[in-house]
Structure 1
Amino acid sequence: MDENVVKPEELMTIAEMVKRNAELFGEKTALQMRRGDVFEKISYRELYQKVRATAAALVSIGFSKGDRAGVIGENRPEWPISYLSIVTAGGIVVPLDPQLKYKEIGHILTISGTKIVFASPKYIPLLNECQESTGLPETIISMESKYPEALFILDDFIKKGQELIAEGSINLDERKAKLDDLLAIIFTSGTTGKSKGVMLTHRGVMFDAIASSKVIIINSTDRLISILPLHHTFEATAGFIFPLYIGAMITYARSLKSKEIIEDIKDTKATIILGVPLIYEKMLKGLRKGISEQRPLIRSLVQTNLAVVHGTRKILHLDPGRFLFKSLRKKSGLGSLRLLIAGGAALPLWVSEGFSEFGFNIIQGYGLTETSPITNINPLEKVKHASVGPPIPGIEMKIVNPDEHGIGEIAVKGPIVMQGYYKDEEETSKVIKEGWLYTGDYGRVDKDNYFYITGRKKSLIVSQAGKNIYPEEVEEELLLSDFIEEVLVIGRLNPNTKREEVYAIIYPNWESLDAYTKEKGIDQTETWVNSFFKEEIEKYCKELADYKRVKSFSIREEEFPKTTTKKIKRFLFQEETIQTEK
């Protein structure tokens, strides 16, 4: 038996973990956030006390075991307090995406029967609209004191709960969940449109966190900076439950502005950051842009050091980037970071290798909301940047119906797989067969059991000759251009030949393009722009097989609409709504 496999005695419910942490880590800071000029801190013991008090107050207003309660808000300490108090009261959490419109949130509240919602003041008007149209939520608990008269406030809730616990009138032990009880219902549409409620259990999420901790070496001295939205399962498990289980400190970034994130990293000496590929792409481009604006001597020194890194890696299989670029990392404000973790989508190879050259430890993993969500992690001691890594301990994975290249649909089996889609047996039966979850992702596996993602099943393009084309592969090549900020590759019917062809929608890096045309004295006409990008596309597609190359394209004037984890909403462009493009 693999010594890294999660043992039955290691498993616990979320509420049991919060209690255990209070005993193990006591006055150590669990959560913090900059407010004004100081960081407001909450210790592990305080967190346990606040969570229990809030749970007691919830019970006092009629919240029963198995009831649903929602949480909506930006990342802040009150979000995990709300989440943890719901499960401590024996309830089920319904995390809400703040980017949704009131009709979408109203629909989620109605089908899930969610009557209580914890909310930051920013989203209370949105919930009021839901109340007017659906009657839900019946109760709103504000995370701050800025609230309409009819609302509860979290601080008052905590005080009330403390009094109830002191009186002995509320017994939370009667509310204890079991490992296989439902923990959360996460409504997700991702990049494919239709919203489905993913049912995750205490066992699934805790198994995922504990198994991950046996691959990624994080300890109680680590300090994580939280920037991804907490309602998303990747951040909820990997950036919230996992670090709390370990006893690490979580800092909530005060905003998503790059300057303020870097200030928070520097001031907290953050050691770990979780991000999606788009965030890392922009970070790396910013780093390279900063280098390009330095004096010629500095630029020359950087290029020389990069050449040393490349040569040393190739000949000696050593990585001197950590030493050679220590000063650069410090000046960029990222010097304290010892680990960058990517998830939510495939990380382009040029991004992972680019960070690695500068001495950053960057790893990527893989997973879905339906798998709690982590299924694979690259171990730091043996990173393969093109891969998402082997399965975490205790999880089975296989490639279904592989083609001649070994590529087929990825299927997953183990305790982390969801119970199913909420009130949707038909959709559940489509993806869970004999205990195996069919992910809808295509991939392959190598001899070391490392998995490689090649693309989404639904976005696959099939050529006239029956060749499979994975849009993500073409997109990764095109994004190597300094003049392409974002790109979406889809199949589109050629009106003349009536055949499906590879079509690219380009959102240019207008800043780089403007600087280039100004330097060259070029008049940036529509005809010139189209001709320029035709050449760029041909240049960056030349390494691809002919049938994979882009045959036609269009230019967008603005960024693509994205999910909250910065993935392009591909489904909008695979349907008739493509006509909205610029």
Structure 2
Amino acid sequence: MFRDFEDEFEYTNDGLPRRTTKIDHRVKIQFENNGNNIKPITFPELLKNTAQTFSQRPALAFENAEKKWQTINYYEYEKKIDKIAKIFIKLGFKERDSIGILAFNCPEWFYSAIGAVYAGGIITGIYTTSSPDAVQHILEVAGSTICVVDNKIQMDKIRVIKENLPKLKTIIQINGPFDSFVSVEDGYYKWSDIEQIQIDNDIEIELEKRLNALVPNECFSLIFTSGTTDKPKGVMISHDNIIFGIKGIFNRFESISVGNEVFVSYLPLNHLAAQIFELYLSPLLAACVYFADRDALKSTLVKTLIKARPTRFLSVPRVWEKIHEKMIKAESNLNYLSYLMLNSAKKFVYNYHVARMNRKRGNVVTYKIGQQIINKVKSGLGFDRCRAFVTISAPMNVETKRYFCSIDVLIYDAYGLSETGPNTLNDSTIRNFDTVGNPLSGNEIKIYNPDENGIGEILLKSRSVLMGYLNDPEKTAQSFVDDWFKTGDLGRLDNNNDLYIVGRVKELIITSGGENIPFVFIEQSIKKQLSGISNALLIGDKRKYLSILLTIKTKMDPENGGPLDELEQESLQWMKTLNLKYTKLSEILKSGPCPIVLKSIQNGIDRYNKNAISNVHTIKKFALLPNDFSIATGEFGPTFKLKKSGVMEKYKDIIDKLYE
């Protein structure tokens, strides 16, 4: 019998190191920093408790093979995981083995991940956009013995590298079409094949033994950081790291209704934030997770949002910006009266929220009037019952935040890394659009070697901080100073203990004159001045002056997510203000680029320069790039983080000309 959720149990803590780089080692749980009021438990304990207490509440919702929505409850969900764990054991999966999952978000991702944990193993998610070489690196470092793949595209990657991975014994494909070797050659299975495997009593006993052997201070997930200059490193995450992190979020969220919360799963699940929100936080809240289809990040996300009507929604800045662009386009097609009414409603709602931020009484009457119109807009996005909108991963354009504020969608920044879990989160006490909030309970933040403006490297202490980097003691040791984790981010704390992110230490631009330039503020300022600009990349490290690379907003291909030639609505509006009839980026570029467009850009840069902190912060030159950025063209990573070093290498010739 698996131990009850409330049972006390023995696990070794005294005498253990605070960090480890070995997959089968345990670490000391750090009860300091006001973190001693949260009981250490394993994730299976949490899930089993939810399955008992909320057995009939919906856990997962997804489109089945007939394209009809299907729901399973928490009792069925936990039983499915239990069954998959036994099947994995039958297939030879051992304790401390790793399972690689190379698939888009789906129920089988959840079953495989938690099934492996039940069996004493470790989750290793892999981006579906990864190359065969990148997949091989992760599976090799993680020591994966099973790999679950989405479809033939992912199976082809594994087929190419399989002979280089002696530990990898079993590959399971979820969706067809299937090549002829699947279900024929040894070690290759369809998902439907493994579901038919019969389980004997010995396996039942073995699973029970493994579940009872789990302890909170051992690794159960590997998160591979998306390195730009080096191969990804495996971040070791323990049960306690996760439990502590999700309980911090639970305590910060407002108006929680356990058993009635709804999330949408669409961000890549090998990203820690997506795992935390969708895989781990959901059972703590007994929430139902709706799975979006694989085109969610291209075009279909809103369709799933309307179906699910989430109560909490997690996203990344680029997704918010895309929704914003579509909303602006839709508004431009309204008749004059409707446009006027909507704009008035947006002003009422926006002014109310800004007053609250400034600790003033907002006008409740006009706010309620505005809501009558705005609520229809929110319903059209599936946000009519959403109580928390969260953005993660990268800095977000303030103008996009302001727009969503005007439609009663107050977006809360959260801050954390793969190595640290969730550390800050805004809530309704938010004071401005720039802060990422104050520390979650049990998290300590300090600024290392602050300058005269209070800006320095952000250091963190928390029970959610990683165990260590897998097989990399040097990197692990270098990441701490006096037991504080060095985030590599630049920031400052205000008098309210709210954190502000300024940039990255490594990406801090240091001019040839020795001036330190935090680039994020400057890039955001330029985008604010020029609404038709989608991306701004500041250049100037070891250079005499600052320059900037710019891209014009274009539409994206709904099939592959790559940039198209057609201008986006905001770019079209920009051209209209310049009395230009361009509808394509190529038309602007073929015209020289167009001197009128270049002059407009220079005017925007001049407006920024006029208010720059000092002369060294001014931008001297700019270049217009030949296409917008995207995942498909390699400028963005899978969560829309800009690959700065890759972009600079790609456009090296253009950059060099800026300094001739």
TM-score by length of 1: 0.91
> Who is 1:124 aligned against?
155
Identify if the C-alpha distance between structure 1 residues 258 and 358 changes in structure 2 by more than 3 Å, giving closer, same or farther: farther
Identify if the C-alpha distance between structure 1 residues 128 and 577 changes in structure 2 by more than 3 Å, giving closer, same or farther: farther
Mapping 1:364-513, distance limit 5 Å? 364-371=413-420, 373-382=421-430, 384-463=432-511, 466-480=514-528, 481-492=530-541, 499-510=543-554, 511=567, 512-513=570-571
The 8 Å contact of residues 191 and 568 in structure 1, kept in 2 or not, is answered as no
Identify if the C-alpha distance between structure 1 residues 52 and 307 changes in structure 2 by more than 3 Å, giving closer, same or farther: closer
| Among candidates 227, 232, 236, match of residue 275 of structure 2 | 236
Q: Does 1:317 align with 2:362?
A: yes
Tell me, in whole angstroms, the C-alpha distance in 2 between the residues paired with 1:311 and 1:74: 40
Unmatched segments (≥5 aa) in structure 1: 494-498
List per-residue Cα deviations over 1:422-479 (Å, max 9, x = no partner): 1111111111233210000000011111111011111111345544221111111122
Which one-letter code corresponds to 1:216 in the other structure? Answer: F
| Among candidates 196, 205, 217, match of residue 242 of structure 2 | 205
Q: Does 1:99 align with 2:135?
A: no
> Who is 1:31 aligned against?
60
Comparing 57-66 with 403-412, greater Cα deviation is found at: 57-66
Tell me, in whole angstroms, the C-alpha distance in 1 between the residues paired with 2:230 and 2:202: 48
Mapping 1:189-338, distance limit 5 Å? 189-190=226-227, 193-217=230-254, 218=256, 219-254=258-293, 255-256=295-296, 260-309=300-349, 311-312=351-352, 313-314=354-355, 316-318=361-363, 320=367, 322-323=371-372, 325-338=374-387
> Who is 1:60 aligned against?
90
Note the aligned Cα RMSD (angstroms): 2.7
List per-residue Cα deviations over 1:66-101 (Å, max 9, x = no partner): 111111100111111110011100011111121111
List per-residue Cα deviations over 1:113-140 (Å, max 9, x = no partner): 2121111124111111121444463210
| Among candidates 16, 32, 50, match of residue 21 of structure 1 | 50
Shift of 1:530: 3.3
> Who is 2:120 aligned against?
90
The 8 Å contact of residues 130 and 137 in structure 1, kept in 2 or not, is answered as no
Which one-letter code corresponds to 1:450 in the other structure? Answer: D
> Who is 1:164 aligned against?
200
SS at match of 1:551: strand
Shift of 1:242: 0.7
The 8 Å contact of residues 226 and 232 in structure 2, kept in 1 or not, is answered as yes
SS at match of 1:479: helix
Which one-letter code corresponds to 1:402 in the other structure? Answer: P
Q: Does 1:51 align with 2:125?
A: no
List per-residue Cα deviations over 1:521-560 (Å, max 9, x = no partner): 4674124243332233323454332322222221222233
Tell me, in whole angstroms, the C-alpha distance in 1 between the residues paired with 2:372 and 2:519: 37
Shift of 1:411: 0.5
> Who is 1:351 aligned against?
400
Which one-letter code corresponds to 1:487 in the other structure? Answer: A
Comparing 31-40 with 229-238, greater Cα deviation is found at: 31-40
Which one-letter code corresponds to 2:307 in the other structure? Answer: D
Which one-letter code corresponds to 1:101 in the other structure? Answer: S
SS at match of 2:217: coil
Tell me, in whole angstroms, the C-alpha distance in 1 between the residues paired with 2:134 and 2:204: 40
Tell me, in whole angstroms, the C-alpha distance in 2 between the residues paired with 1:354 and 1:515: 17
Tell me, in whole angstroms, the C-alpha distance in 2 between the residues paired with 1:434 and 1:292: 55
Identify if the C-alpha distance between structure 1 residues 370 and 104 changes in structure 2 by more than 3 Å, giving closer, same or farther: same
Tell me, in whole angstroms, the C-alpha distance in 1 between the residues paired with 2:124 and 2:494: 38
Which one-letter code corresponds to 1:435 in the other structure? Answer: D
> Who is 2:11 aligned against?
none
Shift of 1:40: 2.1
Q: Does 1:532 align with 2:600?
A: yes
Identify if the C-alpha distance between structure 1 residues 347 and 576 changes in structure 2 by more than 3 Å, giving closer, same or farther: closer
The 8 Å contact of residues 86 and 203 in structure 2, kept in 1 or not, is answered as no
Identify if the C-alpha distance between structure 1 residues 257 and 62 changes in structure 2 by more than 3 Å, giving closer, same or farther: closer
Comparing 200-209 with 337-346, greater Cα deviation is found at: 337-346
The 8 Å contact of residues 72 and 95 in structure 1, kept in 2 or not, is answered as yes
Q: Does 1:141 align with 2:177?
A: no
Comparing 482-491 with 225-234, greater Cα deviation is found at: 482-491
| Among candidates 567, 572, 577, match of residue 641 of structure 2 | 567
Shift of 1:191: 5.2
Comparing 561-570 with 288-297, greater Cα deviation is found at: 288-297
Shift of 1:182: 0.7
Shift of 1:258: 6.2
Identify if the C-alpha distance between structure 1 residues 506 and 382 changes in structure 2 by more than 3 Å, giving closer, same or farther: closer
Shift of 1:247: 0.4
> Who is 1:496 aligned against?
none
Identify if the C-alpha distance between structure 1 residues 5 and 302 changes in structure 2 by more than 3 Å, giving closer, same or farther: farther
Comparing 192-201 with 510-519, greater Cα deviation is found at: 510-519
Unmatched segments (≥5 aa) in structure 2: 1-30, 555-566, 583-587, 630-634
Shift of 1:270: 2.1
Comparing 309-318 with 455-464, greater Cα deviation is found at: 309-318
The 8 Å contact of residues 475 and 487 in structure 1, kept in 2 or not, is answered as yes
Identify if the C-alpha distance between structure 1 residues 355 and 482 changes in structure 2 by more than 3 Å, giving closer, same or farther: same
Comparing 152-161 with 347-356, greater Cα deviation is found at: 152-161
The 8 Å contact of residues 190 and 569 in structure 1, kept in 2 or not, is answered as no
TM-score by length of 2: 0.81
List per-residue Cα deviations over 1:466-502 (Å, max 9, x = no partner): 4422111111112222210122223255xxxxx4322
SS at match of 2:619: coil
Which one-letter code corresponds to 1:197 in the other structure? Answer: G
Tell me, in whole angstroms, the C-alpha distance in 1 between the residues paired with 2:519 and 2:362: 33
SS at match of 1:370: coil
Shift of 1:309: 3.9
Tell me, in whole angstroms, the C-alpha distance in 2 between the residues paired with 1:180 and 1:420: 12
Tell me, in whole angstroms, the C-alpha distance in 1 between the residues paired with 2:107 and 2:611: 48
Identify if the C-alpha distance between structure 1 residues 516 and 473 changes in structure 2 by more than 3 Å, giving closer, same or farther: closer
> Who is 1:362 aligned against?
411
SS at match of 2:223: strand
Shift of 1:57: 1.4
Tell me, in whole angstroms, the C-alpha distance in 1 between the residues paired with 2:200 and 2:56: 24
